[in-house]
Chain A
């Protein structure tokens, strides 16, 4: 399918940037100055020559025709992806103003696009590469899975032992033994191929240094870890949905094999969290017809933006498939039927009491759940001593912000947007409080991203 005639918005382009530095560098190149021979074709190719520091300008091409996301090619040496030149070119194109006229692609651009589309066509024809199990020997796959389950079981037993030792000797000793003990345990869980357990163990190591009340938090997390280990060891006796949740919490791979659900999905929020090795992108979608809120999770190695990039406030007509597990919001994006377009949809909101109750209900299906996606309607950001809360405009009830949300710049955008008046706020509501991600003014107005 092609996207001829549909120019993207600037926000849509900027969301493709792998990091803030690229976004800034790309913005600066999004002006006509450094570009020559730029153009765009009906087939969805955008190209241009960008003056760099060398004598030869960089050749930049972007193929925007593919519904699964744009593809980039640039002759610059940057390892960022997309590079600033590709971003600048798209910004220039998105800005209109005649700097990127319609035309026929030059030889170098056309060649690359043609080659790429050919390869993509072959790949599609050769079946979906995402399901390796389809081609492999099912018997071998079963044996592999069994071996892995045995290793996880061994890891879980060992972890249970360590937790019991810890509680026998007292959490107070954990404060002295420090981070090293947990790092070692986490490494053992990685060996056991239980990434989910490893991640939780690593977080345990940090808790004793998080200030007053740490014993309570440490006991909570130890208890939930114990619950997860026990869940794994007795998974045969659990209901199927809960067993699937346990498997995914442990870190076993799963595929999105739920039935495809087609809807107009509104992009509620997109944000990235990064550690040294990996960038994780979370995109919350709201189905205009199904009224479901679902989560797209994607990963990128450091320096590369996870795909896809979906700007807040746009809607895409697409199919999504759920991952297994009771109450899991995670889905995989299937076929897209049209490029993202602005829409006036807003999610329906609830009161703070309903939001808290919703979290409580969700714990029934997944007791390890940190938070649930909720839209609050008619709440007023309200200062509460040295913190903030979202107070119902019409009831005497309020949800406090999470500690992390209090220090984000998005808080002040939210306060400014509200100006003391009620706003609608989408965010994550959990036991630490509410983390606002997107807000809408009470009257007409666009969605304002807060993260």
Chain B
């Protein structure tokens, strides 16, 4: 309280100061104000100090008010339903590390459900109760992946709050100007001024916002200052053209092929090759076709490959990197880049009007199959070609854990990304049914949440088989964790039979049955919790 405003009519603060000084030095050295020295001096001092203490306390008054903070902006969104607000408080109370790690037991991992909860709440457009903002910001502070959904949900008051607490400064960085600084995109003058005078982050935000609504306007805006941008900035801006890429971007990208920066050239070439109708794609098709032919001298016609002998300046201009990485032959390196950048439609024409599936099934002479198929995979991903992806993935139940073309799990995951969600789920379900779960983690990661019914069933069945095989559940903790977050809550009923502790076969690891039951209990509990969460938020 305000110590400086002394009580009315006090015999001045001096009296108290005198008492403190005497007490500090001792009554043997300094006499008590208003009392003589002697054996009674300490008691006299304490008496006087007691009176002064109570007097000082009783006379306290409020201080002057400091400058009050500016009010937080209004949040127009409707408030959370009460049940959802309670759930949120419970999710936020479950901080990792509080319980000291270790085995997870049968209880759900609440913090892992927070991203889903936030996505649902954001989809419904609810505003948080203001008093949970500190806990939300603390959660986002510890986990960068949570920041975008948390900041969207937390709304304008969170930014207001973050200005008052240095712990939450990240919120101001993550949202330049709080997202509110972006002008109306129809207002050409303001857009132009922000583009010319804004900070780098603001300009990137402006460009991507504009690109998502009017792709050509964004490209034209970029063209106005292109020549004067720094190389790193050119690269970032060029990359933002990736979304909404279309044939009308070709002219701009074609001139970027002559850029001073090699990285900018490479990116421009990559974008152009994703446009099958572009001139660059045509040039690459001609080059690639020259390397591939059908060899009819064999009993079954095979594909023959003759890799390029040199990397000419034209190729380099079109984005082919001349220097091969260590350990790779330069001819196969160049060849891979040509095939990757050539439109896939080239091959049906070149190889006799066949379907991708037939082409992929063809043998390839002289051990070129790996190189050729890998390049087709990259092309299918780049050109988002579902038919070629399907052909390269092959049948999910094919032996040796792979189709005819697919090389690695990572590549397969990317190819799956070009397929429709249902088809993707079905393919992964088939893969798991044949090959089990040990390699499925990466593939499951590209499947849409919640998992489609056949996929969910395949995962549960495979977990059941893994349990019967007698291993410990933590070999599958990754898939288990995914299942907790991604399995459709309506599947919870299918787990009922798995919740009990099974009889232990002799071959099983000791105690595994109990741990499995615990894992399945956690899975079932988590699914019920997710169903409750969705219901509380009024999700359809």
Contact = CB atoms under 8 A, between A and B. Distances in A.
B69 interface: yes
A384 B1 CA distance: 12
A24 to B, nearest CB: 6
Interface in A1-34: 10-11, 20-21, 23-25, 27-29, 31-34
Interface string B102-122: 000111101000000000000
Given A172-B24, A216-B20, A396-B65, A416 B60 contact: no
Nearest to B72: A419
B59 A164 contact: no
Given A28-B107, A382-B67, A163 B46 contact: yes
A398 B46 contact: no
Interface in A182-211: none
Interface stretch (A104-112, A271-279, A352-360): A352-360
A391 interface: yes
B193 interface: no
Contact of A164 (B43, B65, B98, B131): B43
Given A27-B90, A170-B29, A356 B525 contact: no
Contacts of B1: 356, 399-400, 431-433
A289 B157 CA distance: 37
A171 B26 CA distance: 7
Contacts of B528: 31-33
A114 interface: no
Interface in A203-227: 215-216, 218-220, 222-224, 226-227
Interface string A337-371: 00000000000000011011001110110010000
B134 A409 contact: yes
A247 B60 CA distance: 27
B517 to A, nearest CB: 8
Interface string A392-418: 100111111000000001001101110
Contact of B133 (A383, A392, A416): A416
B61 A55 contact: no
B99 A10 contact: no
A420 B86 contact: no
Contacts of A29: 107
A31 B50 contact: no
Contact of A34 (B42, B94, B525): B525
B251 interface: no
Contacts of B62: 352-353, 355-356, 392, 397-399
Contact of B61 (A97, A167, A353, A421): A353
A216 B24 CA distance: 9
A382 B72 contact: no
A27 B94 contact: yes
B46 A419 contact: no
A53 B501 CA distance: 12
Interface in B49-63: 49-50, 52-54, 56-63
Given A51-B521, A416-B131, A360 B66 contact: no
Contacts of A215: 20, 23-24
Contacts of B28: 168-170
A10 B88 CA distance: 13
A54 to B, nearest CB: 9
Given A215-B23, A226-B47, A360 B90 contact: no
Contacts of B458: none
Contacts of A32: 525, 528
A34 B521 contact: yes
A60 interface: no
B69 A382 contact: yes
Interface string A49-90: 001010100000000000000000000000000000000000
B93 A24 contact: yes
A380 interface: yes
Nearest to B85: A446
- A-side binding surface: helix, strand, loop or mixed? helix
B41 interface: yes
B65 A389 contact: yes
Interface string B1-34: 1000000000000000001100111111100000
A73 to B, nearest CB: 22
B478 to A, nearest CB: 21
Contacts of B49: 219-220, 222-223, 226
Contacts of A389: 63, 65-66
A55 B518 CA distance: 12
A23 B95 CA distance: 13
A220 B501 contact: no
Contacts of A312: none
A243 interface: no
A314 interface: no
Contacts of A171: 23-24, 26
A226 B24 CA distance: 17
Contact of B65 (A163, A361, A364, A382): A382
Interface string B307-351: 000000000000000000000000000000000000000000000
Interface stretch (B158-166, B183-191, B223-231, B370-378): B158-166
A172 B132 CA distance: 47
Given A164-B42, A164-B43, A220-B53, A420 B94 contact: no
B41 A412 contact: no
Contact of B157 (A164, A382, A412, A416): A416
A448 interface: yes
Nearest to A23: B93
Interface in A409-451: 409, 412-413, 415-417, 419-421, 431-433, 441, 448
A431 B29 contact: no
A420 B90 CA distance: 27
A442 B27 CA distance: 54
A173 B46 CA distance: 17
B99 A24 contact: yes
Contacts of B70: 420
A223 B525 contact: no
B143 interface: no
A62 B8 CA distance: 59
B363 interface: no
A223 B69 contact: no
A391 B28 CA distance: 46
Contacts of B66: 382-385, 389, 391, 398
A353 to B, nearest CB: 6
A352 B74 CA distance: 27
A97 B532 contact: yes
Given A32-B528, A416-B161, A219 B94 contact: no
A363 B496 CA distance: 65
Nearest to A160: B43
B63 A363 contact: no
A283 B164 CA distance: 31
Given A170-B26, A170-B29, A420-B71, A397 B65 contact: yes
8 tightest A-B contacts by CB?
A: A170-B26, A33-B525, A28-B107, A419-B72, A223-B49, A420-B71, A391-B65, A397-B62
Given A172-B26, A417-B130, A419-B157, 8 more contacts: A31-B107, A169-B26, A215-B20, A224-B54, A360-B57, A384-B66, A409-B134, A433-B1
Interface of A: 10-11, 20-21, 23-25, 27-29, 31-34, 51, 53, 55, 97, 160, 163-165, 167-173, 215-216, 218-220, 222-224, 226-227, 352-353, 355-356, 359-361, 363-364, 367, 380, 382-385, 389, 391-392, 395-400, 409, 412-413, 415-417, 419-421, 431-433, 441, 448
24 contacts: A11-B86, A24-B94, A33-B108, A33-B525, A167-B26, A167-B42, A168-B42, A170-B25, A171-B24, A356-B62, A360-B57, A360-B60, A382-B68, A382-B69, A391-B65, A396-B64, A398-B62, A399-B63, A400-B63, A413-B131, A416-B161, A417-B130, A431-B1, A448-B131
Interface of B: 1, 19-20, 23-29, 41-43, 45-47, 49-50, 52-54, 56-72, 86, 90, 93-94, 98-99, 105-108, 110, 130-134, 157, 160-161, 164-165, 501, 521-522, 524-525, 528-529, 532
